[in-house]
Structure 1
Amino acid sequence: MRQRTRARARLLSQRLVGQGWATASEAVGAFGLMQGQEPTVFSSIALRTTGGIDSVAQALDRHDIIRAYPMRGTVFVGLAEDMRWMTQLLAKPAAERALRNCEAAGVSPAQVDEIREAVLLDGPVSNAQLKEIVTRVAGGVPEPAMIYRPRYLFLVDGSCAYLGSAQLLGPAPDAPGIAERFNGERQEAVNEVVRRYVATRGPVTFDDVAWWSKLPVREIRTALDSLGDGFIDNDGDYFHASLIDALAGAPASAFRTPHLLPAFDEYILGYKDRLYAMSEDVHTHLVPSNMGVFRKSIVVDGIVRGTWRGAGGTLAVEDVGGLPKYAMPGIRRKFRDFPVLPATAV
Structure 2
Amino acid sequence: MSPATSPDPRLGRLRLVAQGLVSRPFARPVDAVAASMAMQGQDLPGVLASAVLRTRAGVADVLADLDAGRLVRGYPMRGTVFLMAADDVAWVTELCAPPTLRAAEARRHQLGLDEHSVDRARDLALAALDGGPIPRAALFARWDEHGLVTAGGRGYHLLFHLIAGGTVCYGPWNGTDQDVVLASRWLPAGSTLEGRFNGDRVAAVGEVLRRYLTSHGPATVRDLAWWTKLRLAEIRTAFAHAEPHLEHDGAAEERRYWRPGLLEEAGAAGRRSSAPLLLPGFDEFILGYQDRLFALTEADHQRLVPGNNGVFKRSVVAGGVVTGVWSRAGRPGRRSLSVEEFTPLSATVRSRLDGLFRSFPFVAD
Q: Is the shorter-chain TM-score for this pair beyond 0.5, marking a shared fold?
A: yes
Contact 2:245 2:260 in 1 (8 A): yes
Who is 2:317 aligned against? 299
Contact 2:281 2:312 in 1 (8 A): yes
For residue 170 of structure 2, give the secondary structure of its aligned residue in structure 1: strand
**Superposition deviation, residue 100 in structure 1:** 5.1
Q: Distance in 2 between matches of 1:136 and 1:103?
A: 21
Who is 2:244 aligned against? 229
Question: Where do 1:34-45 residues align within 5 Å?
Answer: 34-39=39-44, 40-45=46-51
1:255 paired residue among 273, 288, 291: 273
Q: Report the residue type matching 1:322 in the other structure.
A: P
Deviates more, 1:57-66 or 1:117-126: 117-126
Q: Report the residue type matching 2:225 in the other structure.
A: A
1:96-126: per-residue Cα shift (whole Å, max 9, x none)? 3434545543444334223223323333222
Q: Distance in 2 between matches of 1:341 and 1:148?
A: 24
Who is 2:3 aligned against? none
Deviates more, 1:7-16 or 1:104-113: 104-113
Deviates more, 1:220-229 or 1:265-274: 220-229
Q: Distance in 2 between matches of 1:234 and 1:335?
A: 36
**Superposition deviation, residue 170 in structure 1:** 1.8
Contact 1:98 1:152 in 2 (8 A): no
Contact 2:73 2:169 in 1 (8 A): yes
2:153 paired residue among 137, 145, 161: 145
Who is 2:263 aligned against? 244
Seen in structure 2, the aligned counterparts of structure 1 residues 256 and 217 have a Cα distance that, compared at 3 Å, is: closer
Q: Distance in 1 between matches of 2:9 and 2:58?
A: 28
Question: Where do 1:80-99 residues align within 5 Å?
Answer: 80-99=86-105
Contact 1:195 1:223 in 2 (8 A): no
Seen in structure 2, the aligned counterparts of structure 1 residues 3 and 143 have a Cα distance that, compared at 3 Å, is: closer
Structure 2, unmatched stretches of 5+, are: 1-6
Question: Where do 1:76-155 residues align within 5 Å?
Answer: 76-99=82-105, 101-102=107-108, 104-123=110-129, 124-138=133-147, 143-155=151-163
**Superposition deviation, residue 87 in structure 1:** 0.6
Q: Distance in 2 between matches of 1:100 and 1:229?
A: 40
Q: Report the residue type matching 1:34 in the other structure.
A: M
For residue 342 of structure 1, give the secondary structure of its aligned residue in structure 2: coil
Q: Report the residue type matching 2:81 in the other structure.
A: V
What RMSD over aligned residues (CA atoms) do the two structures have, in Å? Answer: 2.1
Contact 1:130 1:147 in 2 (8 A): no
**Superposition deviation, residue 143 in structure 1:** 3.5
Q: Distance in 1 between matches of 2:237 and 2:99?
A: 22
**Superposition deviation, residue 220 in structure 1:** 1.6
Contact 2:206 2:240 in 1 (8 A): no
For residue 242 of structure 2, give the secondary structure of its aligned residue in structure 1: coil
Question: Where do 1:47-66 residues align within 5 Å?
Answer: 47-66=53-72
1:225-265: per-residue Cα shift (whole Å, max 9, x none)? 4324331121211000120220221122x123211011100
Contact 2:121 2:143 in 1 (8 A): yes
Q: Report the residue type matching 1:73 in the other structure.
A: G
Deviates more, 1:320-329 or 1:222-231: 222-231
Question: Where do 1:1-346 residues align within 5 Å?
Answer: 3-39=8-44, 40-99=46-105, 101-102=107-108, 104-123=110-129, 124-138=133-147, 143-166=151-174, 167-172=178-183, 173-175=186-188, 176-235=191-250, 236-252=255-271, 254-311=272-329, 312=331, 313-342=335-364
For residue 96 of structure 1, give the secondary structure of its aligned residue in structure 2: helix
**Superposition deviation, residue 133 in structure 1:** 1.3
**Superposition deviation, residue 149 in structure 1:** 1.8
Contact 1:304 1:321 in 2 (8 A): no
Seen in structure 2, the aligned counterparts of structure 1 residues 86 and 195 have a Cα distance that, compared at 3 Å, is: same
Q: Distance in 2 between matches of 1:285 and 1:329?
A: 23
For residue 166 of structure 2, give the secondary structure of its aligned residue in structure 1: coil
Q: Distance in 2 between matches of 1:100 and 1:280?
A: 34
What number of residue pairs does the alignment pair up?
A: 341
TM-score (norm 1): 0.92
Who is 2:4 aligned against? none
Q: Distance in 2 between matches of 1:230 and 1:108?
A: 46
Q: Distance in 2 between matches of 1:230 and 1:127?
A: 41
Contact 1:29 1:79 in 2 (8 A): yes
Q: Distance in 2 between matches of 1:322 and 1:339?
A: 26
For residue 135 of structure 1, give the secondary structure of its aligned residue in structure 2: helix
Q: Distance in 1 between matches of 2:221 and 2:306?
A: 27
Q: Distance in 2 between matches of 1:329 and 1:115?
A: 52
Seen in structure 2, the aligned counterparts of structure 1 residues 98 and 214 have a Cα distance that, compared at 3 Å, is: closer
Contact 1:187 1:223 in 2 (8 A): yes
Q: Report the residue type matching 1:66 in the other structure.
A: V
**Superposition deviation, residue 157 in structure 1:** 1.0
Seen in structure 2, the aligned counterparts of structure 1 residues 285 and 239 have a Cα distance that, compared at 3 Å, is: same
User: What stretches of structure 1 move > 4 A for 4+ residues in a row?
Assistant: 99-104
Contact 1:286 1:294 in 2 (8 A): yes
